[in-house]
Amino acid sequence: MSVRQLRLALQKPIWRATAPLRTCGRGLRALATVAGSAQNHKPSNYGQPLFPSHPHLLKPHELTPGIPADEYECRRRTLMDSLPSDSLVVLVAAPIKYMSGTPEPQSSYKFRQASDFWYLTGFEEPDAAVILEKTSNSRGYRMTLFSSGKDSAKEKWEGARTSFEDVVSIFRADDALPIHVFPARLKSLAGIYSNIYIDSPNASTKRPPRTAKSLLRYLRQPLAPLIAKLRSIKSKREQQVMRAAADISGHAFAKTMRFTQPGTSESAIAAHFEYLCSLSGSQRLAYVPVVASGPNALIIHYTSNNQVIQDGELILVDAGCEYNGYASDITRTYPASGSFTSAQHDLYTAVLTAQKALIGQCTETASFTLHELHRRSCDFLRVELNQLGFRLHAGEVERVLYPHFLSHPIGIDLHESSNFDRGELLKAGMVITIEPGIYVPPLPQFPKNFHNMGIRIEDEVLVGKEHPMILSVAAPKEVADVEGACQGLLGLQPL
Ligand code: GLY
Ligand code: MN
Ligand code: MN
């Protein structure tokens, strides 16, 4: 940006909170003040659903559906409290990804906010950034949010954006500034603070600095591991949103089992599942679903989903929706014909027995790490397979029959694992998956009646102090429930 552009930018109005902003945990400055105008809520005047424009999606005190503005305040406060004095935190919104670039106008993929940025701000617009400065005032930090602001020409194409005034009053920024002044503001603050935490893909670059930009790169410390620690324990509100996401996916599973017949295509099953989730309010799928019939289930990440279901086959479906910012992740394996054959029943029961035993150990008092649970999953499966007549050699379960890990943490992201230590003890409030599987290749050392079967059973589990809670309980799992759902005998909950 040139000096002239910078000067022009700084002449633009700056919105600043006029009253002291509320501190974490003390009462509410809800959207209720803005909510007075909620009756006439269309068209939206904001860059995302908010109570005044979308009272059917949010409650007055919520900033994003299910999560109150106060909770975002607490997240920021907790993060800033954990940092040394003289700290600056910088996060940038996700970039827009384009499906088609030329000729203009460009057509973009549906925008999804960067997870950490969203976790701390609840702000869902692209072209945004936030700076948090640690302070000694009662709030504990100062927040500057940079965004597009109102731009009628741009909004005609892309939809409404939140005004700077509303960024202050609704998102609780101390200051709201246009995004184009972000580089200059960051540069000037970088000279003042000695601890700079930045969430960015290459935060570890450690070459000596030559320019202001590289000075910032040099000074910064990675923020992602600190936020990952906060995100790993889910609040009550987050647990409720995650339960709702898992319920949507679980009910969609039950109906998708009923929908499946010999002759149905894998892609139709994927489409049906996604349609049911969308109908229930999900914004997107949390990942590309696996719909693997017969031997396709031996490919762990099978996503081609372009075969046709044959009578007598098993179908492995690994699918989950994202709902109000949180992912769900469920796998079920069920018979195309509606009834398990005897061999399918035996192998399914083996995986199910192990899976249920492992879920029972997802408590703080059991004192297990993910590594230990994984090791136990191999042991449980080995015992089950031996009972079915497998003659297993050392390491064959881990290397051949069950080549993936048991579990991962889940939340805003499907795999909240990049900064998660698998050697850490499980704590109450964590949400993890438990997903053992057995995939039998057609090799002579394995019993022939199980050849080409792939079975995985995956649930999301909320770790409790004494008891685990299965969030994905709506998806049929017991043999009788799976067969009942496939045959249309289960009371299916209406959408
Ligand atoms: N669906 C991806 C996983 O289970 O991790
Ligand atoms: Mn998973
Ligand atoms: Mn999965």
The neighbouring-strand residues paired with 131 are 90, 144
Q: How far is the CA of 247 from the centre of ligand 3 (A)?
A: 15
Residues 6+ away with beta carbon under 8 Å from 37: 52
Question: Pairing between strand 459-462 and 431-434?
Answer: antiparallel
Average pLDDT, the chain: 90
- What residues contact residue 306 under an 8 Å CB cut-off, 6+ apart? 265, 266, 267
Q: Does position 57 have pLDDT exceeding 70, yes or no?
A: yes
Residue nearest to atom 4 of ligand 1 (CA): 329
Helices (H) and strands (E) in the chain, counts: 15, 22
Q: What are the residue ranges spanned by the domains of the chain?
A: 11-232, 236-486
Expressed in angstroms and rounded, the spacing between residue 377 Cα and the centre of ligand 1 is 17
Burial class (CB in 10 A: 0-12, 13-18, 19+), 212: middle
Atom in ligand 1 nearest the alpha carbon of residue 458 = 4
pLDDT tens-place string over residues 332-356:
999 999 999 999 999 999 999 999 9
Contact between 433 and 393 under an 8 Å Cβ cutoff? The reply is no
CB 332 within 8 A of CB 256: no
DSSP string, 280-294: TT--EESSPPEEEEG
Confidence of residue 7 (pLDDT cuts 50, 70, 90): very low
Provide mean pLDDT across the span 198-221: 60
User: What does the alpha-carbon distance between residue 298 and residue 280 come to, in Å, rounded to a whole number?
Assistant: 31
Give me the pLDDT at residue 295, please. Answer: 98
Tokens of 328: 């769900």
Which residues crowd ion ligand 2, with CB under 5 Å?
329, 433
Report which ligand 1 atom has the smallest distance to the Cα of 286.
1
- Of ligand 1's atoms, which has the minimum distance to the CA of residue 435? 4
- Identify the CA nearest to 230 among candidates 69, 92, 420: 420
pLDDT exceeds 50 at position 30? no
Percent with pLDDT over 70 in the chain: 86
Measure 302 CA to ligand 1 centroid, in angstroms.
11
- What pLDDT, on the 0 to 100 scale, is given for residue 36? 46
Among 435, 439, 459, residue to substitute to test ligand 1 (most atoms within 8 Å of Cβ) = 435
Q: What angle do CA 148, 149, 152 make, to 5 degrees?
A: 100
Q: Strand 330-335's sheet: what is its strand order?
A: 290-293, 314-319, 330-335
Note the maximum CA span of the chain: 78
Residues 6 or more apart whose Cβ sits within 8 Å of residue 293: 266, 307, 308, 309, 310, 313, 314, 315, 316, 336
CA distance 140 to 123: 20
Round to whole Å and give the CA distance between 405 and 59. 39
The answer to whether the CB of 477 falls within 8 A of the CB of 457 is yes
Work out the percent of the chain whose per-residue pLDDT is above 90.
Answer: 82
Give dist(CA 307, CA 293) in Å, integer.
7
Compute the average pLDDT of residues 135-151: 97
The residue type found at 252 is: A
Q: Using a 6 Å CB cutoff, which residues line ligand 1?
A: 287, 318, 329, 408, 435, 458
Neighbours of 191 (CB within 10 A): 10
* Cα–Cα distance for residue pair 48/269, rounded to 1 Å: 31
Question: Domain 236-486 adopts which CATH fold?
Answer: Creatine Amidinohydrolase (3.90.230)
Res. 102: pLDDT tops 80: no
Task: Determine which helix (DSSP H) or strand (DSSP E) holds 462, and give its type and residue range.
Answer: strand 459-462
Q: How far is the CA of 301 from the centre of ligand 1 (A)?
A: 8
Report DSSP letters for 269-327, one per residue. Answer: HHHHHHHHHHHTT--EESSPPEEEEGGGGGSTT------BPPTT-EEEEEE-EEETTEE
CB 35, CB 213: distance < 8 Å? no
Name the nearest CA neighbour of 381 among 345, 363, 364, 406: 406
For 111-137, what is each residue's pLDDT tens digit?
999 999 999 999 999 999 999 999 999
> How many Cα atoms within 13 Å fall on the side-chain side of residue 422?
14
0.95 surpassed by pTM? no
Residue 494 has pLDDT above 60, yes or no: no
Query: How much is the pLDDT for 124?
Result: 98
Residue 215 pLDDT greater than 80, yes or no: no
Q: How many Å lie between the centroid of ligand 3 and the Cα of residue 329?
A: 5
Please give the residue that has the higher pLDDT: either 38 or 77.
77
Atom of ligand 1 nearest to the CA of 287: 1
Tokens 């600056």 found at: 88
Asked if 216 contacts 210 with a C-beta cutoff of 8 angstroms, the reply is: no
Amino acid code (one letter) for 342: S
Residue 270 CA to ligand 2 centre (angstroms): 17
What pLDDT sits at residue 3? Answer: 34
Query: Which one-letter DSSP state was computed for residue 66?
Result: T
Write down the pLDDT at residue 101.
75
Instruction: Supply the DSSP symbol for 200.
Output: -
pLDDT tens, position by position, 252-282: 999 999 999 999 999 999 999 999 999 999 9
Q: Tell me the C-alpha distance between 32 and 60, whole Å.
A: 5
Superfamily of domain 11-232 in CATH is Creatinase/prolidase N-terminal domain (3.40.350.10)
H or E element, residue 166: helix 164-171
